[in-house]
Each structure stands twice: as structure tokens, then as C-alpha cells.
Chain A
Amino acid sequence: MNVRAHISMTFHLDKCIGCHTCSVACKNLWTDRKGTEYMWWNNVETRPGTGYPTGWEDQERFKGGWEKKNGQLELRLHSRARGLTNLFYNPALPELDDYYEPFTFDYQNLFSAPEGDDQPVARPVSMITGEPMNLEAGPNWDDDLGGSNLYAQNDPNWVGVAPEIQAQMAEIERVAFNYLPRICNHCLNPACVAACPSGAIYKRAEDGVVLVNENKCKGWRMCVAACPYKKVYYNWATGKSEKCILCFPRLETGQAPACFHSCVGRIRYLGAILYDADRIATAANAETQELVQAQLDAILDPFDPQVIAAARANGLGEDWIKAAQASPVYKFVKVWKLALPLHPEYRTMAMLFYIPPLSPIVSSIEEGLVRLELPPEKVDFELFNHLEKARLPLEYLANLFAAGNVEVIKPILRKLLAVRIYKRRQSVEGSIDPATLKIVEAAGTTPEEIEAIYQLTTKPTLQERFVVPPYHREMATEVWNDPLAHKGETGVGFIELPVRGD
């Protein structure tokens, strides 16, 4: 057992309201420099939808992540030799138009336009060429466009979803969508690290943060293609790759990352978990249907005396072990088994876990009125027994979070529903009837667990949501600079203005 700690994350999708505050907080802090305008280290996508960059899940095209070849784990992007021969042209690299051309508006024209018959306008201008341009895409271009034939219908996750259900999802009265906030997953088996010819990307053993060494990066841009989540971006101005740094200067000073801290819906949880580094290789190579379980098995119980002893032997301090025991992520992922990694089939072992969203049941229109297909008083119970009637198809959620395995999603939705039914009965009727208790039992949970889930879901304190262990900056081999000093620079601890080339 090789115990390491990882600062891991949980996003509760049921609570996300799609306000993009996280994206803006991140943008203001890290990516408001030249060359990074199009980078959204944190973005919020509407699902079903094509996401950002458009269609990033289409790995036939973008070649992200790992795949099993003859039992061996290989990068989908290239072999080692092929990686070197593709230096001059990387066929799988997205183009700027797969993101969007960054733009601003010519506001000065509003003041300086000569007097005329018409109101002056602020035309959009490209932030690359500085010339007027027509906007064809932008950040959140498909925001809230659930059911649209341009975005939602081109979602790659419809595989295995019946055509009539897909058609239903496109009807205006039955449109359902949820939000999917995404940051770098800080994977246990990162494909970007493996694909970098220069060896510039690395994972910090202390906390698992994946970083690009901007000094070693030579702009071969293999990481951009190899990351299946498309969360490494190429800075077109400096010729270096950049990615989410999990706000490590904030973590090291005891603060949650900016996107976490600013989250309005309080959907984000952050905490340390202990994992067994020796199990990464086998877990990443598991059968597709068992990938989720294999990854969860690699996460260790921080209360187990054996684990604690092994953690100590690996140099983990008592404060980190304590933090792992108090971690909200550990509770959601391992104790309550409510959270799943996004697209486990990419085999990078993402360490950001999502609690899948509940959705209302399918309704139909009769004579202009919305008719629920179930009597209202029974809706919750019926949904519990007929999860296939949920508006967001089970298969769709399974394609997002469970490599297509519906059986992994079902118990999670059941438990979430049990919490909802139990607390609703409790607060509306004041007492719990036997039918509800039966549901609780069928969901494999207990009233005590439901109370704990409810507590951490609806009214956790800041200290309960973000359990950041002390980083012991006094022991750092490098003494980092003032976090504020990073703003306007390369953003990853490099104190020099990012000038292109010499």
C-alpha cells in the first residue's frame, strides 16, 4: 500500500443553477491575459449539449484519454514514436474555431464617432487581429439551449438512448437539461502528463494537483489533444500550454479555489482523500463496466488503522490524516456512494466527482394542459420505482458518469430520491409514514444517513464544504510568491512578463 493524499472535489449537480459565477471568478483571477482569453479553466455547460470546446467528447476526432489495446493501456493519441513524428503537425489538435475567436467591443466608437443621423454602435473586434468580426461563437454559446437541434441533439452521449426518447427531449414542452460545471479533473492517471513530449506536466504527490511547468513546456501541444476533457489550453500568444492549477496558491494559504469559494449554489465540496498509488495501474486498466468500482476501491478509508499507519510511513502528517477523515468528498464518494467521476471510460481516473441530477417525470400535453402521467401525490414514490420515467434518461446520465452502466446510476438516484421523500414527509406532514420508511430501506439507507446527507447537502458551513489541510508553507522547497503577484503574469509561479519568444 502506497498511501498518498489528494485534494479531491465533489460537485452536486442538483444544486447547480448555472450562474457561471465560478467561471467569472476563475477568469478574473487567472485567464485575463493575452493569449488566454478563450481559456475557460472553469466552464459550465448545458447538458444535453455539445459543451466547450464544441463536441469535446468526440474522442474519435480529438483522440483524448486512454484505451485498452490487447489488454495494455495506451494513449489514444499516439505511441511514443508517433508522438515525436507528430510534432510538426498534430492531427488531433482542436482549432481555435472549435472554441471561439476571442472578441471585445469597440466601445471607444461610442464616444469618438462623428456626429451623424444614426446612433454609433460598438462593433465586435477580434482580440487576436484587432479587426471587426462577425460573432459566430462565444463563451456559453449554447447556454440553456437544451433540446436545440444544433447543440443538444449533437451531444455524443445519446448513444444507447432510444430514438423516441431523444425525439421527446427535443419537444419544447418536454425539454429538460441540467448544468455541468467542469474544471480540470486532476486525474490520477492523467493523459496530458503522459502525452507531453517535454515532460513538462507533472502531478504533485502531496496533493495531486496537475500542473504545467511553463519553463519546460516547449509548445508541442500534445497535452491539448490528449486530455479527453479538453482542459489543457494552448496560449497562442506565448506558445505555452496552460491549465487549471486548482488555485494552488490559495490552497496553500488555507483557502478554497476561487471557483469553489464563489459558488453561489454552494454545489462544490473540496477535501483531501487518501488513495493507494499502487492500485492506479490496475484500476485504470479494469473492464469498462467495472471502472467506477475499481477507482472507488483505490480510495482508502482514512479511519482504517492500517491505512493511517501506511500514510504516516509515507510522510503524511497527522493534520492531513485528520483532514482526510473530515473530508466531505470522502463522505459523498465512499461513505454514501453518491458521486461519480465524469466519463470514467476515458481511464484517466478523474478525481472530480459529480452527484448526478434528479429530474422531474415525463409529462404530456392534453388539450393545452400539462398532464403529469402520474397522480401528483404519488409522483415521488412512482418516480422512485420507475426511474426510467425521469425526464433526463437514465442511459444519458449513465453515458456521462458511468461508462454507460445504468446499474451504477440507479442506486444513486434512488438514494437521492429517498432523501427528498423522507425530508419532504418530515417537513410537510411532520411524521414519517411506513411507506416512506419502506422507500428508505429500499434505497439501502437509514434515517440517520439521510439526516447526514441532508445536512451536508442543504446547509453545510464553509468549513464543512472546504476542508483544506494545512500546507506547511514553511517547509516548502520553494517559497511561493504572494498569490496576488501572479495576476498578470503566467499564473503558475513564474515571475516574468509572458512575452512571446525572445
Chain B
Amino acid sequence: MNWNILLFQVFPYVALALLIIVSFQRMRGKPFSVSSLSSQLLERKLLYFGSVPFHWGLLIILLGHLAALLVPQGLLLWNAVPMRLYLLEITGLALALWTLGGLLVLLYRRLSNRRILAVTRPTDVIVLLLLLVSILTGILTAVMYRYGSFWFPSVFTPYLWSIFTLRPRPELVADLPFWIQLHVFNFWVLLAVFPFTRLIHILTVPLGYLWRPWQLVIWVRKPRRLQPIPPVAPPYPTSAKPQAALQDKGGAYGSD
């Protein structure tokens, strides 16, 4: 086994296994631990300048990657006209810089604000650093190895599909430059740590809010109440004093 197979074939499957199994287990078994862990109550000004660009920028860029994975032909067709290629690349780069700015604000806020430090766990910083690596290597790739959106469909789309369809071809990324390899490997690391960190809140995006009824009224007891109660033989001899027996067992809560 060489490094290529270890990092880009074995590790991705470890990461995916962790992602699926541990996420499922945590969402089912420890739902209380799943939260966005918002710290807006403790500090709001820097959060605005950090969280908004960070989240929106990352979201749009990820959707771009997803589009390249799902409809590579469409991307190639779009890029057939140079003007459109430049537009796409410039937009992507601008979004990446916007996201980077937000991330740096968040990192600064997390490490400088005393209140935020009080609720910071090591994994919170690790997640931010991993994302920083992702964004920096992404920007380096976009700048140094132009044009990413041009070669992504012929390199990464087959590679990612080979992983997802269980016919791994790690050799596709074997000869790529270091920064691009780091970008890819870091992605698998993020998937691996996903279920152990606050990243899991991505799974809880509440899209159902768009169509659920405004008010939620829950009958806590009705299901049981409507069931007929089977007759039970009295636990005491009927000739004895039933009232006294009931009072003995009623206790503080009565016998209702």
C-alpha cells in the first residue's frame, strides 16, 4: 500500500463510514447533543461580520462543487465561452475571499472574546482550522492551477464518483500538485470529524419550516385514553376493607 492508496482510497472510506454511522447514532441516540451551539447571545457584533459571509459563502461554493459533481457536462458547456468561464472563476474566487474574511473574523472572535472562550471546546477550534485549510488551499488551487472549473469535471468528478460507487480509482489524484491533494484530503478529514464536532448541525437544516403548520399542538395522553382499559381483578379479597387498602397504597399523590 502506498501513500496514495492510504490517503485517497482507504481514508475516504473510513471517513464516510464514520460520517454515516456515527452521525446516525448521534442523531438517534444523543439528540440533546446536536445543536448549532450559537453564541450570538454572548457576542453579536463580530458574529454578524463573521457568521453571515462565512455561512453564505461556504454554502454557495459547496453548491458549486456539487453542481460540478452532478452535472459536469453542463459545467463544460457553460465554460465553452471564455467570458462565462472568467465570470464563473471570478465569482468563485470572490466568494472564497468573502468566506475567508468571515472565517478569520470568527476565528479571531473565538480566540479573543472572553465570553466566547468560556464556551469554546477544542473541537470548535479544530473545525475552524480545518475549514481555514480548505478555503486557503481552495484559493491557492484557483489562483495557481487555472482554471479549476475547467479541469474539475475530468479529474474530480470521476474520482469522487469512483469512491461513491465503490470502484475507487485513487490514481486519478496521484499526480496532482500538493496543494490540490491537500484540499482533497482535508475534505475527507472534515467528513471524518463531522459527526464528532459541531459540524453535525448541518444535518439539521430546518427546511420543513417552509411548510409546517404555524402551531404545533400535541395530545400527550389521548392515544392511551382512547384504548379500553381491561378489567383487572382486585388485588385484595373483596370481603376485606377496600377503602383502607386503597389509602395505604395511595400515598401522597392520591389514587386518582
Contact = CB atoms under 8 A, between A and B. Distances in A.
Interface of A: 80-81, 83-84, 87-90, 93-96, 128-131, 189-190, 193-194, 196-199, 201-206, 214-221, 224, 234, 236-240, 253-254, 277, 315, 319, 470-473, 475-478, 490, 494, 496, 498-502
With a 10 A CB-CB cut-off, give which of B31, B196, B216, B220 has the most chain A CB atoms.
Answer: B220
The A interface is mostly helix, strand or loop, or mixed, namely loop
> 5 smallest A-B Cβ distances: which pairs?
A197-B206, A239-B35, A470-B256, A215-B31, A219-B35
A202 B39 contact: no
Nearest to A188: B215
Contact of B37 (A84, A197, A203, A501): A501
B197 interface: yes
Contacts of B216: 193, 199, 201-203
A502 B123 contact: yes
Contact of A254 (B35, B43, B254): B254
B34 interface: yes
Interface string B203-224: 0111111111011111111111
A477 B42 CA distance: 38
A94 B117 CA distance: 20
Contacts of A216: 31
B220 A240 contact: no
B212 to A, nearest CB: 6
Interface in B20-78: 26, 30-44, 47-48, 51-52, 54-56
Given A89-B51, A202-B217, A128 B36 contact: no
B42 A501 contact: no
A129 B196 contact: no
Contacts of A473: 253
A206 B37 contact: no
Contacts of B109: none
B44 A205 contact: no
Contacts of B33: 499, 501-502
Contact of B115 (A128, A315, A319): A128
B121 interface: yes
B100 to A, nearest CB: 16
B36 A218 contact: yes
A16 B66 CA distance: 62
Given A197-B209, A236-B41, A476 B35 contact: no
A266 B220 CA distance: 31
Nearest to B36: A219
Contacts of B219: 204-206
A203 B252 CA distance: 28
Interface in B183-238: 196-198, 200-201, 204-212, 214-226
A420 to B, nearest CB: 39
